[in-house]
Structure 1
Amino acid sequence: MADYLRPTPWDKRNFQMDTFEVMSLEEEALAQTENIEGHFTIKVDPFKSSKILLDHGFYYVDTLIEPVCEEGKLTVFEKDGTDISLEYDRERILEIAKESFEHGRFHRDFNIPDEQADLRYMNWVSDLMDKNQIYALFYEGSLIGFYGFEKENVLLLGMKKEYRSKGLAKPLTSMGCRKQWEDLDLQQLKTSISAANAPSLNLFYSLGFRLRSAKDVYHKINRSSMGV
Structure 2
Amino acid sequence: MTLDYLRPTPWDVRNFHIDTFEVMSLEEDALKQTEEREGHYTIKVDPFDNPKPLLEHGFYYVDTLIEPVCKKKKLNRFDQEGTTISTKYDRASILTIAEETFAHGRFHRDFNIPNEQADKRYMNWVSDLIDKEQIYALKFNEEIAGFYGFEKENVLLLGMSKDYRHKGLAKSFTSKACDKHMTEAGLSELRTSISAANVASLNLFHALGFRLESTKDIYHKLNRRSSGR
TM range (shorter): over 0.9
Percent identical? 69
- Summarize deviations over 1:188-224 as a string: whole Å, max 9, x none: 1000000000000000000000000000000000124
Corresponding residue of 1:48: 49
The corresponding residue for 1:26 is 27
- State the number of aligned residues: 225
- Indicate conservation of the 8 Å contact 2:68/2:213, yes or no: yes
- Is the CA contact 2:138–2:146 (under 8 Å) kept in the aligned structure 1? yes
Q: Is the 8 A contact 2:37 2:225 kept in 1?
A: no
How many Å separate the matches in 1 of 2:72 and 2:156? 18
Matches within 5 A, 1:158-197: 158-197=159-198
* Secondary structure at the counterpart of residue 95 of structure 2: helix
Instruction: Give the structure 2 partner of residue 103 of structure 1.
Output: 104
After TM superposition, the structure 1 = structure 2 runs for residues 7-156 of structure 1, keeping only pairs within 5 Å, are: 7-156=8-157
SS in 1 for 2:148: strand
CA separation in 1, counterparts of 2:104 and 2:68?
17
Q: Which runs of 5+ in 1 are unaligned?
A: none
TM-score, scaled relative to structure 1: 0.97
Structure 2 residue matching 1:72: 3-state secondary structure: helix
Task: Give, as a single letter, the amino acid of the residue that structure 2 aligns with 1:190.
Answer: R
Deviation at 1:141, TM superposition (A): 1.3
Give the ranges of 4+ consecutive aligned residues of structure 1 lying more than 4 Å apart after TM superposition: none
In structure 1, the partner of 2:218 is 217
Specify the code of the residue in structure 2 equivalent to 1:139.
F
Aligned-partner SS, 1:196: coil
Aligned to 1:3: 4
Q: Give the CA RMSD over aligned residues.
A: 0.9
For residues 205 and 104 of structure 2, what CA distance do their matches in structure 1 show?
16
Distance 2:182 2:189 in 1: 8
Task: Give the letter for the 1:45 counterpart.
Answer: D
TM-score where L is the length of structure 2: 0.97
- 1:114 and 1:176 map into 2 onto residues whose CA distance is 30
